[in-house]
Amino acid sequence: MNYKQAQSQLRYALRNQKTITTNKLSRILQTMNISLHKDNTDKEIKFLKAQIKNKDRRIQVISQQLHERKIRHQKLRERIEKCECK
């Protein structure tokens, strides 16, 4: 079951006030990464913080690469201008 399927099953059960087994509800919520336990929320927070940290690192790497490319492009442009002037 994927996220969209779990979401639609939960929506159907809630809108139509259908009875749902605890096992099925647990499986749906797990698929949607929703936890009702306090311990799991701490784990989820740590996981999300780690994800943010990884994304920040990736952004820094990409920014550095972009900066280096701009410098190379500028140097190349200067060389081309020198050649055209001669």
3-59 pLDDT, tens digit per residue, is 788 888 888 888 888 788 888 888 888 888 776 666 667 777 888 899 999 999 999
Range of the domain at 19: 1-34
45 and 30 share one domain? no
82 and 53 share one domain? yes
The dihedral built from the CA positions of residue 48, 22, 1 and 6, taken in this order, carries a sign that is negative
For the chain, the domain total comes to 2
47 and 79 share one domain? yes
47 and 9 share one domain? no
- What integer pLDDT is reported at residue 86 of this predicted model? 58
- What integer pLDDT is reported at residue 37 of this predicted model? 67
15 and 42 share one domain? no
Work out the angle at residue 53's Cα, subtended by the Cα atoms of residues 35 and 46, and round it to the nearest 5 degrees: 25
- What integer pLDDT is reported at residue 8 of this predicted model? 85
